[in-house]
Structure 1
Amino acid sequence: MIIGLLTAVAASACYGTGSVLQAVGSRKSARQEAAKASSGAVTQHGGPSLASTAKAAVTWEFMVGTVLDFIGFGLGALAARLLPLFLSQTVISANLVITAVLSIKLLNIRLTRPEWASIAVVCSALVLLATAAGPEGSGATPLSTHWWLLIASVALIGGGTLIVRLLGGRAAILAGLLSGLGFGALGVGVRVLNGVDPFHLPSLLADPALYAILVAGVGGMYLHTVALQIGSVNGATAALVVGETVVPGILGVLWLGDSSRPGFAWMAILGFVVAVAGAVAVAWFGEPDSAPEAAHDSIGQADPEPSADKAPRAAV
């Protein structure tokens, strides 16, 4: 349990730091595209084009942030194998708190009293969850459910990407939610993956959950980048947290046999709800007064400096 918690906290730190760097890279690219007055930087619906998203991904800040994300992914995958999903995913989602704190130093942003209070709420909720968490389930599931996970991941990322591109500059909240759901599907896939313990390569390669992980991970990263390019929307960050925390947590209990300690179910539920609410509050109160309207229709109207709420993480 202790090793799992430490691993989840380390993953959260990697994701939180990576989020700040990715936000800087995404917005630097957006400003450069706007300065060029490049009509190819946006789609006909006002969202970032594939070319502009690719350019954001090759800035050095974004690349360093991505490396941290991959490290966080490895640590998060290990945490998902060691802890109940409702605990591991919630601890990892606390990277929003880490992002907010790091933004003080890296982005010269001052946190308000409501933000500090929200951070304290999240930390308290994590203590409740850690206290209430019991043994994780076995993760043993029929192969048919792994196929369903793959189908759901393809439908989520494929259909979601199409809708986001159609909505354009209005899709920040949806992009955040879909990226969170993608990272949640990734966490579930890691948990049920065959051929890991003990390691057996043929079983690993034959498991549809492996390909669900790849689809959900790559798609979630793309949608995360789009959300960062579109603009600062507090709801997008909140939606990401809900997507990556609530759905995997429920699936862990109903599908994988995760449970709390005897007599501590109420504490687990309370901690879970309070943690999500606190993360939403961090995003909500982190919206600067000078932020542009949420529904900007061009990435050229992005803020010159990203803030903590503009940096939702790419999570497991």
Structure 2
Amino acid sequence: MLIGLSAALLACLGYGVASVLQAYAARRSAAAAEARGVGGQLTETGAPTVASTVAAALTVWFIVGTALDVVGFVGNSVSARLIPLFLSQTIMSANLIITAVLGITVLGIRLHRREWIAIITVILALAALGTAAGHEGGGSDDPAMHWGVLIAAVLLFTVSQLVVRHLGSRGAVTAGLAAGLLFGALAIAVRIVGGIDPLSLPTLLADPAAWTIAIAGVGGFYLHTVALQLGSVNGATAALVVGETVIPGIAGVLLLGDTARPGWQWLAILGFVLAIGGAVAVAVFGNLSAVREHADT
């Protein structure tokens, strides 16, 4: 349990710092392109082009953020196999707090009282979940689940691409939510993938869950980058947090045998709901603030 909790906290720190550095890089990349008079950065709807997203991803600070994402991924993978998914994924939702606090210094973001209240709600919810969490369940050998999570990840990435392109400049929260859902699929795939213990490369490579890890990881990373280009880093990250927490948490309880401590189920449910509610509030408030700031400029 202690190793799993430590890994989740490491992932939380890595993802939180990475989001701020990547948002900073995306802003600098866009400003530099504008200063050079480079066109074609946005589609007709206001969504970033693939070229502009790639350009942002190749900047130094974005690459540093990506390295921290790798650290977060390792921590996420370890925690997903050692502690209940509703606990590991919700601990990682605390990266929202790191992103918000660092955003004040690095990005000059000003948080309102309502956003601080939402962030504090997330902190209290995490404490409740940590108190109520029991033991993690196991994996699953059901081929339907292994193929199902792969098909869901592919469909989600394809549909979200179309929706975000259609929404354009209004698609930050949608892109962040889709990225979170893909990361949630990744967490489920990490739990159920075969060929890990004991290590067997043929078994691992033949498992659809392993391909889900690759597709959901790359797709989630891309959509999160798009979300950071489109809107508030707090709003995009909070939407991501909702996606990567809800589905794995529910799947862990209903399908994989994750449990709360006997008699503490009510606290686990309360903590889970409050954590999601707080993250949703930050996403909505952060997006509204970004829209108002853009309108003022």
> Match of 2:221?
221
**Residues 250, 201 of structure 1: alpha-carbon distance in 2 compared, 3 angstrom cutoff:** same
* Shift, 1:6, TM fit: 1.5
**Distance in 2, Cα, partners of 1:302 & 1:157:** 33
Which has the bigger relative contact order, CA under 8 A and spacing at least 6? 1
Secondary structure of 1:42's partner? Answer: coil
> Match of 1:87?
87
| TM-score relative to the length of structure 2 | 0.92
**Distance in 2, Cα, partners of 1:44 & 1:132:** 49
> Match of 2:54?
54
Report matched runs for 1:1-316 at 5 Å: 1-232=1-232, 236-286=236-286, 291-293=290-292
| TM-score relative to the length of structure 1 | 0.87
**Distance in 2, Cα, partners of 1:175 & 1:120:** 25
Give a deviation string over 1:180-230, Cα, whole Å, max 9, x none.
Answer: 111111111111111111211111111100101111110111111111111
**Distance in 2, Cα, partners of 1:302 & 1:37:** 23
> What one-letter code is carried by the residue in structure 2 that aligns with 1:218?
V
**Distance in 1, Cα, partners of 2:234 & 2:16:** 16
Give a deviation string over 1:1-51, Cα, whole Å, max 9, x none.
Answer: 122111111110011011110000111111222233433211233211111
* Shift, 1:255, TM fit: 1.0
* Shift, 1:118, TM fit: 2.9
**Distance in 2, Cα, partners of 1:22 & 1:49:** 17
**Residues 8, 119 of structure 1: alpha-carbon distance in 2 compared, 3 angstrom cutoff:** same
RMSD: 2.2
* Shift, 1:152, TM fit: 0.9
Give a deviation string over 1:42-74, Cα, whole Å, max 9, x none.
Answer: 123321111111000011111000000011100
For structure 2, the 5+ residue unaligned runs are none
Secondary structure of 2:161's partner? Answer: helix
> What one-letter code is carried by the residue in structure 2 that aligns with 1:69?
D
**Distance in 1, Cα, partners of 2:116 & 2:46:** 35
> What one-letter code is carried by the residue in structure 2 that aligns with 1:217?
G
Larger helix proportion, structure 1 or 2? 2
Q: Quick check: 1:173–1:233 contact (8 Å CA) kept in 2?
A: no
**Distance in 2, Cα, partners of 1:243 & 1:288:** 19
For structure 1, the 5+ residue unaligned runs are 304-316
